[in-house]
Amino acid sequence: MAANKDRASLFLAKYLAGLDESELEKRLATKPDLPYQRLPRNHKLTDEAVQARWDVLELDDTAQQQILDPQTKAQMQIYKKNIENFIGTIKLPIGLAGPLRVNGLFAQGDYNIPLATSEAALVASYNRGAQLITKAGGCTAILLNEGVSRAPGFAFKNVHDAGRFSMWAISSQEKFTDIAEQTTAHGQLVDMRITVEGNHVYLIFEYSTGDAGGQNMVTIATDSVVAYIIENTPVNPEYHFVEANLSGDKKASAQSFLSVRGKKVTTEIHLSKELIKKMLHTTPEKMVDYWRMSAMGGVLSGTIGVQGHYANGLAALYIACGQDAACVAESAVGVTRFEVNKDGGLYAAVTMPNLIVGTVGGGTGLPSQRACLEIMGLAGAGHAQAFAEVTASVALAGELSIIGALAAGHFTRAHKNLARGAEKA
């Protein structure tokens, strides 16, 4: 990735000032003989093992008391399937946004949304958007599709062998499905696509994952299928991998944007111009003007999709509710659309194809995270589809609020008042 030569020169000159060649070489050289303090090899979650890790850190007791507080210490066995080298828990403030009324295929009712964040003004913004939606009677949300993918890759001597393997894989899809389903009571292999690139073959397996986010589920299932392939293929690959980076896992990609990865949801609402004036202090026309300019800005900057700040609400909701926070990288992809409707009000829609969410498994069973799901009435089995519809509706609330603030000229003022108060940062 290129950098402007003048800026690069100024940057290097600033940070290298006062260092001669020998000092610079010494600073940047590898130091394999320099001793270091190893972490204890005992990965078990016992009082002794936890304390041994703290002893390596050589800090005063204050830091340990903040991270390994009495409640965390009493509950620490709960975390043993979710963490390695445990030393405690981190605390984030949780705020409520809502109520958010959702009229969905699966989500029905008013939801108070727990958001865990250290960013001031975020909860206030989503709260305003949620109340706006609720005052209008709620948004309509529809789960459109589901599927979590894993894409093993196989390398062959030549394209001829790759083609023979591909034909065999197509004829074996039913067997692959049987093997995958033996590894899980909740997942199912529902589709397989093939991509051939020279002598490389990618098998894109798509699974339904029930109420789980499903990342580990599909990895374990795919590993079993790959083991069967290696034992039975008529054309042996020279090498292979259980994931060859074609699934879109934890990264924004055009592939998942155009299809689905996780759960695909669309949500919409019509807002009267009177309600927008009362709650957002602007007009539908002004909001559409902003949306139009921001959409072009997204195109010019090369973003995948068109949206304002999905990642804000998703990260806060995912952390609060025990989701895999790294999945925000792919979940925060989608399209926001604003139009002036025939009545002079605002039509707003959000479509998100990559919501990796679940209500069982992963971090959803941890004490605080389970409690946050319970706040919404979405804890445990049977609620993942409703949770996906609520999640997209949260994103809609955030889009309405932030674009309303920008259109009204209140965006900077809100952050200044809530994040900084009277003091300058």
| Residues 233-277: tens digit of each pLDDT | 999 999 999 999 999 888 888 887 888 989 999 999 999 999 999
Can you tell me whether residue 253 is helix, strand or coil?
A: coil
Whole-number pLDDT of residue 201: 98
- 159-164 mean pLDDT: 97
Q: Which residues contact 33 (CB under 8 A, 6 or more apart)?
A: none
pLDDT of residue 251: 87
Say if residues 150 and 207 touch (Cβ distance below 8 Å): yes
- Same domain for 132 and 271, yes or no, is yes
Lowest mean pLDDT among 31-45, 74-88, 266-280, 281-295: 31-45
User: Distance from first CA to last CA of the chain, Å, rounded?
Assistant: 33
Q: What is the mean pLDDT of residues 23-50?
A: 89
Average pLDDT over residues 338-355: 97
**Residue 287 falls inside a structural domain:** yes
- Retrieve residue 394's tokens: 């949260």
Contacts of 243 (CB under 8 A, 6+ apart): 150, 151, 152, 153, 219, 222, 249
The last residue of one of the domains, among 212, 241, 270, is 241
Are 272 and 389 in the same domain? yes
Give the whole-angstrom CA distance, residue 57 versus residue 197: 49
| 142 and 160 belong to one structural domain | no
CB 383 within 8 A of CB 371: no
- When divided into structural domains, the chain yields a total of 2
pLDDT for 317-333, tens place per residue?
999 999 999 999 999 99
Q: Residue 94 above 90 pLDDT?
A: yes
pLDDT in tens, 205-228: 999 998 988 888 999 999 999 999
Nearest by Cα to 404 from 283, 262, 323:
283
What's the pLDDT tens digit per position in 2-14? Answer: 667 777 777 777 7
The confidence score (pLDDT) of residue 37 equals 87
What are 420's two structure tokens?
A: 């900084």
Token pair 């949620």: residue: 130
Mean predicted lDDT score pLDDT of the chain: 92
Same domain for 273 and 399, yes or no, is: yes
Task: For residue 412, give the H/E element and its range.
Answer: helix 411-415
User: Which among 241, 276, 296 is the end of a domain?
Assistant: 241
- The pLDDT tens digits of the residues spanning 112-154 come to 999 999 999 999 999 999 999 999 999 999 999 999 999 999 9
Same domain flag for 142 and 279: yes
Residue 115 sits in the same domain as residue 174: no
pLDDT (0 to 100) of residue 15: 72
Are residue 285 and residue 206 in the same domain, yes or no? Answer: no
Identify the CATH number of the domain in which residue 102 sits: 3.90.770.10
Residues paired with residue 102 on neighbouring β-strands, in sequence order: 109, 139
Other C-beta atoms lying within 10 Å of the C-beta of residue 258:
9
Task: Assess whether pLDDT exceeds 80 at residue 163.
Answer: yes
Query: Is 177 a member of any domain?
Result: yes
Q: How far apart are CA 389 and CA 104, in angstroms?
A: 7
State residue 381 phi and psi, 5-degree precision.
-65, 150
Residue in 86, 101, 17, 78 with CA at minimum distance from that of residue 48? 86
Encode pLDDT of 363-408 as tens digits: 999 999 999 999 999 999 999 999 999 999 999 999 999 999 999 9
Helix (H, G, I), strand (E, B) or coil at 303: coil
Same domain, 314 and 383: yes
In terms of C-beta density within 10 A (0-12 exposed, 13-18 middle, 19 or more buried), how is residue 262 classed? buried
Q: What angle do CA 332, 270, 384 make, to 5 degrees?
A: 40
| Residue 94 in tokens | 């949780």
Domain contains 403: yes
C-alpha–C-alpha distance, residues 43 and 339, integer Å:
55
Residue in this structure with the two tokens 């800026």, named with its chain if needed: 7
Q: Are residues 325 and 358 in the same domain?
A: yes
Confidence category of residue 355, pLDDT binned at 50, 70, 90: very high
In a domain, 56, yes or no: no
The tokens for 37 are 């303090």
Q: Is residue 273 located within the same domain as residue 288?
A: yes
User: In the prediction, which pLDDT does 362 show?
Assistant: 92
Range of the domain at 187: 152-241
pLDDT at 41: 84
Q: Quote the CA–CA distance of 294 and 288 in Å, as a whole number.
A: 10
Q: Which residues are catalytic?
A: 119, 324, 415
CA distance 12 to 323: 41
Q: If pLDDT is split at 50, 70 and 90, which confidence band does 422 have?
A: very low
Calculate what percentage of the chain has a pLDDT beyond 90: 81
Residue 146 to residues 107, 301, 335, 356, 357: CA-CA distances in angstroms?
16, 29, 18, 10, 11
178 and 126 housed in the same domain: no
